[in-house]
Structure 1
Amino acid sequence: MDYFIIVVTTAAGLYFHWWLFRRIRQWSDRDLALSLADGDEPKRQYMLEQLARAREEGVRRKELPAWLEQAAVRYPDRNA
């Protein structure tokens, strides 16, 4: 019974750490996208859409900052 408890708590702890790691990565990616929006609400929505598009296209995490910066540059400025 002792081994069962050790295995279950270890598995639960590893799963929790994996889950937390994934959530922190998602939050940091979202924060990066929103930081490139410069507080402009339509651009914030656009950048979140671009983040979702990057995930769909399978953009690697190393390439994500540059990819999002290019997307921010391509943003159609509606005030001009």
Structure 2
Amino acid sequence: MDYFIVVVATLAGLGFHVWLYVRMRRWMDRDLALSLAGGDPHKQAYMLQRLQHARQSKMGRKALAQWLAQEAAAYSR
């Protein structure tokens, strides 16, 4: 019975850490997109839309920052 408790606690801890890691990456990506948009609410909405597009197209993390910067520079209202 002791091994069962250790296994369950370990798996729960690992699952929590994976969930937290994924959430933090999403928060960092969102913060990057919003920081590139500045204070303009229309540009912020546009950048969040572009971030969603990047997530759907499974863009790599290394290319994401540069691509978002290009999208921010290409934004025209």
Alpha-carbon shift at residue 63 of structure 1 (Å): 0.7
In structure 2, the residue matched to 1:31 is 31
**Distance (whole Å) between structure 1 residues aligned to residue 21 and residue 67 of structure 2:** 22
Amino acid at match of 1:26: R
Comparing both structures, which one devotes a greater share of its residues to helix?
2
Alpha-carbon shift at residue 48 of structure 1 (Å): 0.1
Name the SS for the 2:61 alignment partner.
Answer: coil
Q: Is 1:11 aligned with 2:11?
A: yes
- For normalisation by structure 1, the TM-score amounts to 0.94
Alpha-carbon shift at residue 71 of structure 1 (Å): 0.5
In structure 1, the residue matched to 2:40 is 40
- For normalisation by structure 2, the TM-score amounts to 0.97
Alpha-carbon shift at residue 72 of structure 1 (Å): 0.3
Identity %: 58
Amino acid at match of 2:35: S
Alpha-carbon shift at residue 40 of structure 1 (Å): 0.3
Alpha-carbon shift at residue 58 of structure 1 (Å): 1.4
**Distance (whole Å) between structure 1 residues aligned to residue 9 and residue 58 of structure 2:** 34
In structure 1, the residue matched to 2:50 is 50
Q: Runs ≥4 in structure 1, deviation > 6 angstroms?
A: none
Name the SS for the 2:37 alignment partner.
Answer: coil
1:29-69 deviations in Å (ceiling 9; x for gaps)? 00000000011000000000000001111110111000100
The alignment's C-alpha RMSD in Å is: 0.6
